[in-house]
Amino acid sequence: MSIELRTKYGQIDISNEVIATIAGGAAIDCYGIVGMASKNQIKDGLTEILRKENFTRGVIVRQENDEVHIDMYIIVSYGTKISEVAHNVQSKVKYTLDKTVGLAVDSVNIYVQGVRVTNP
């Protein structure tokens, strides 16, 4: 599946994997984020930090009618305020996708999969 953008010059198709990679890269830059987690690891009780090339497993891009929704599965750093970290990720992802791709995202849903102690 892909997102279709229409401009005065023509049509642009952007795959969901590209959007997920951009969103994951924006989220990782936020303070308090240790990494991205896979959606499927909820069942197993294990959370593994995903590498940059696997961000698409931790970010789900959904299209409903003309709306774009993003679900992100993250691991936060111990000692940070989870609600603030989640709000920062939502803001940064929306801003980055708007500036990079010109895509207006309707919602960014954050699912915290774990808390990790990071080495100073």
Is residue 74 within 8 Å of residue 41, measured between CB atoms? no
Could you tell me the pLDDT band of residue 117, with boundaries at 50, 70 and 90?
A: confident
| pLDDT tens, position by position, 82-93 | 999 999 999 999
Cα distances from 15 to residues 35, 39, 70, 90, in angstroms, run 23, 19, 13, 20
Report all structural domains of the chain as residue ranges with CATH numbers, in order of start: 2-116 (3.30.70.1350)
Instruction: Print the SS3 string covering 46-91.
Output: CCCCECHHHHHHCEEEEEECCEEEEEEEEEEECCCCHHHHHHHHHH
Total Cβ atoms within 10 A of residue 120: 3
Strands 10-15 and 2-7 turn out to be antiparallel
Specify the pLDDT at position 10: 92
In 3D space, the residue among 41, 65, 63 whose CA is nearest the CA of residue 114 turns out to be 41
Could you tell me the pLDDT band of residue 53, with boundaries at 50, 70 and 90?
A: low
